[in-house]
C-alpha cells in the first residue's frame, strides 16, 4: 500500500487482493476442469472448487469488514479520489452480495453445480435430457433460493437480482424494452438477409485440426493476443478464462468446418484482450475487474462480428486461409470468404448462429429461464418448451436434446441471468464500433493491413482502462454520445445484410 493511504481503506485493499487471489486460483482450476482434468478427478476437483468458493465468501463476510467499510467511507482522501471512491463502492457491493448468502449455502451451490456440469457432459453426449433431471432440478432449486435471498436483501425482484450478478444495474424492464425493440425489426431483416445471403454455400472437405490451430494462432497474434501471457486449448464449450496476466482461451474443432473454431477463437480473443487491457494499477481490486458481462460481451462481439466479418478483415485473412489449407482453397477469394462468413441461416446451435438469428436464441433462453426461476416451467418440461420456442422464433426444431436444451453449459453451472447480456453486448458492440470508426478514421484502413493498434488504443481509452470506475450504461453513453439502444445494431444489420 502507498504511503499516506487511509488506514481502513488500505486494509480493505489488502483483504480484497487476497480474495482476488483465491478467485484467480479457482478460475485456473475451472479451466483445467474443462480442458485437461481426468474424469476420475472430478469428485476431488468439485471439493476443491467448493472450498475455494467458501474461503472467498468467508473472507468477504468477515465481521471486521462492516466496520472497515464504514470507516473508509468517512475518510476524506477516499471520497476526493474517483478511483478510490469507485473501488470502495464496488467493495461494499460485493460485501452486500456475500452477506445475502450463508457460507454453507455458497458451498452447497458450488458442489451441486459442479456435479451438474459433470452430468451435463454425459447427458449432452447421449442427447438425453432425462439423464440430468435430478441434478438440474437441484441446481434450479438452489438458484431460486439464491434469488429469493438476494431479493430480500436488496429489495429487487428475484430475477433482477440474478441479472445483477452479471450486470449490476440491469433490470428485467431494461431487457424487455430492448428485446421488444429488436423484435420490431429483426424478422424483416432476417427475411431480407435470407433472400440476399441465405444461398451461400459452406466450404466442403476436410480441414485438419492441426492446420486450423495454426491458423487460429496466427490470426490471434495479428489481432494482438499476448501469447506470453496466455494460451489456446480445446474444451467441450468455447470460453475465455483465467485473468489479465494469465489468459486462457478454449475452442472446439470440426474437421469439416474450419470457420466454426476460427470464429469462436476470434470471439474469445475479444474477451481476453479486454481482460488484458484492464487497468494494471487496480489489478486484484474490485474497480480493476471487468465491468460486467454486457461490456465483456461487447468486446468479444466487437471483434468477432463487427471487425472480423468486415470487408477489411476478410481482405486481410484470405491469403492466410489459402496458405493454411493449401490446394483445397487455393482459389479462394474475398467475395467467397465473406459470403460464407456472412451467411444467414436459421440453425439450432447458438454458438454457431449468425448475427441476425443470434438474438432469437437469446430471447428464447431469456423467456425460458424466467419461467424456470418463477416456477411456471417444470424442469422436466424444458425440452418441449424449448422445441416450441424454436418453432415460434425461427421456424425450426432441434433434432434432439443435444441440439436443444443441452447445448449450453450455463444453466447447468447455475448461471441464470447471464444470457441476456450476450445480445445486449451485441447492441453495445455495434454502438461502440460505430463510434470508434467515426472518431478515428484510421481504424478500418489499418485493419486491412493487419494493424489493430488504432482500434485497440481507442478501446483502451474508452473501455478497457476504465475497469469498473463507471457503470456499463454510463461508459457506453460516454464513449458513443448516446444511451444504449438498438439503433446502431439495426443500422449495422441492414447495411450488411439488406
Q: Where in the sequence numbering do the catalytic residues fall?
A: 268
Q: Catalogue the long-range contacts made by 276-280 (C-beta closer than 8 Å, 24 or more residues apart).
A: 276/226, 276/229, 276/230, 276/244, 276/247, 276/464, 277/456, 277/459, 277/460, 277/463, 277/464, 277/465, 278/244, 278/464, 278/465, 278/467, 279/465, 279/466, 279/467, 280/244
Encode the chain in three state secondary structure: CCCCCCHHHHHHHHHHHHHHHHHHHHHHHHHHHHHCCCHHHHHHHHHHHHHHHHHHHHHHCCCHHHHHHHHHCCCHHHHCCHHHHHHHHHHHHHHHHHHCCCHHHHHHHHHHHHHHHHHHHHHHHHCCHHHHHHHHHHHHHHHHHHHHHHHHHHCCCHHHHHHHCCCCCCCHHHHHHHHHHHHHHHHHHHHHHHHHHCCCCCCCCCCCHHHHHHHHHHHHHHHCCCHHHEEEEECCCCEEEEECCEEEEEECCCCCCHHHHHHHHHHHHHHHHHHHCCCHHHCCCHHHCCCCHHHHHHHHHHHHHHHCCCHHHHHHHHHHHHHHHHHHHCCCCHHHHHHHHCCCCCCCCHHHCCCCCHHHHHHHHHHHHHHHHHCCCCHHHHHHHHHHHHHHHHCCCCCCHHHCCCCCCCHHHCCCCCCHHHHHHHHHHHHHHHHHHHHCCCHHHHHHCCCCHHHHHHHHHHCHHHCCCCCHHHHHHHHHCCCCCCHHHHHHHHHHHC
Amino acid at each position: 500500500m502507498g504511503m499516506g493511504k487511509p488506514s481502513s481503506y488500505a486494509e480493505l485493499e489488502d483483504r480484497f487482493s487476497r480474495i482476488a487471489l483465491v478467485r484467480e486460483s479457482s478460475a485456473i482450476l475451472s479451466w483445467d476442469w474443462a480442458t485437461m482434468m481426468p474424469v476420475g478427478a472430478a469428485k476431488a476437483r468439485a471439493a476443491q472448487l467448493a472450498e475455494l468458493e467458501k474461503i472467498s465468501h468467508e473472507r468477504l463476510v468477515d465481521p471486521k469488514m462492516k466496520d472497515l467499510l464504514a470507516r473508509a467511507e468517512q475518510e476524506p482522501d477516499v471520497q476526493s479520489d474517483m478511483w478510490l471512491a469507485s473501488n470502495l463502492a464496488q467493495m461494499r457491493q460485493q460485501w452486500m452480495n456475500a452477506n445475502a448468502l450463508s457460507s454453507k449455502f455458497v458451498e452447497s451451490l458450488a458442489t451441486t453445480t459442479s456435479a451438474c456440469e459433470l452430468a451435463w457432459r454425459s447427458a449432452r453426449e447421449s442427447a438425453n435430457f432425462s439423464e440430468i433431471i435430478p441434478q438440474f432440478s437441484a441446481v434450479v432449486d438452489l438458484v431460486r433460493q439464491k434469488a429469493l435471498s438476494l431479493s430480500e436483501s436488496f429489495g429487487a425482484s428475484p430475477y433482477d437480482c440474478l441479472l445483477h450478478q452479471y450486470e449490476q444495474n440491469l433490470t428485467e424492464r431494461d431487457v424487455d424494452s430492448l428485446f421488444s425493440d429488436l423484435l420490431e425489426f429483426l424478422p424483416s431483416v432476417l427475411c431480407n438477409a435470407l433472400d440476399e445471403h441465405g444461398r451461400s454455400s459452406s466450404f466442403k472437405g476436410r480441414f485438419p485440426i492441426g492446420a486450423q490451430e495454426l491458423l487460429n494462432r496466427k490470426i490471434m497474434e495479428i489481432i494482438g493476443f499476448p501469447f506470453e501471457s496466455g494460451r489456446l486449448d480445446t474444451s467441450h464449450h468455447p470460453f475465455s478464462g483465467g485473468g489479465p496476466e494469465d489468459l486462457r482461451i478454449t475452442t472446439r474443432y470440426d474437421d469439416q468446418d474450419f470457420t466454426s473454431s476460427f470464429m469462436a477463437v476470434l470471439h474469445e480473443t475479444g474477451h481476453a484482450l479486454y481482460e488484458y487491457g484492464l487497468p494494471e494499477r487496480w489489478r486484484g481490486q474490485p474497480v480493476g475487474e471487468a465491468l460486467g458481462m454486457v461490456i465483456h460481451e461487447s468486446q468479444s462481439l466487437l471483434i468477432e462480428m463487427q471487425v472480423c466479418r468486415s470487408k477489411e478483415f476478410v481482405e486481410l485473412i484470405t491469403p492466410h486461409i489459402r496458405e493454411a489449407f493449401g490446394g483445397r482453397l487455393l482459389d479462394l477469394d474475398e467475395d467467397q470468404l465473406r459470403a460464407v462468413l456472412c451467411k444467414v441461416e436459421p440453425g439450432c446451435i447458438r454458438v454457431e448462429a449468425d448475427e441476425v438469428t443470434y438474438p432469437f436464441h437469446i430471447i428464447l433462453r431469456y423467456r425460458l429461464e424466467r419461467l424456470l426461476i418463477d416456477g411456471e416451467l417444470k424442469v422436466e418440461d424444458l425440452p418441449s418448451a424449448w422445441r416450441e420456442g424454436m418453432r415460434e422464433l425461427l421456424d425450426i426444431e432441434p433434432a434432439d436434446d443435444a441440439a436443444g436444451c443441452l447445448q449450453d453449459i450455463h444453466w447447468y453451472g447455475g448461471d441464470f441471468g447471464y444470457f441476456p447480456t450476450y445480445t445486449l453486448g451485441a447492441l453495445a458492440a455495434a454502438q461502440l464500433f460505430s463510434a470508434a470508426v467515426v472518431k478515428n478514421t484510421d481504424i478500418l484502413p489499418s485493419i486491412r493491413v493487419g494493424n489493430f493498434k488504432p482500434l485497440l488504443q481507442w478501446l483502451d481509452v474508452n473501455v478497457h482502462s476504465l475497469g469498473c470506475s463507471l457503470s456499463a450504461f454510463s461508459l457506453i453513453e460516454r464513449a458513443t454520445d448516446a444511451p444504449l439502444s438498438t439503433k446502431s445494431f439495426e443500422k449495422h444489420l441492414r447495411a450488411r445484410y439488406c
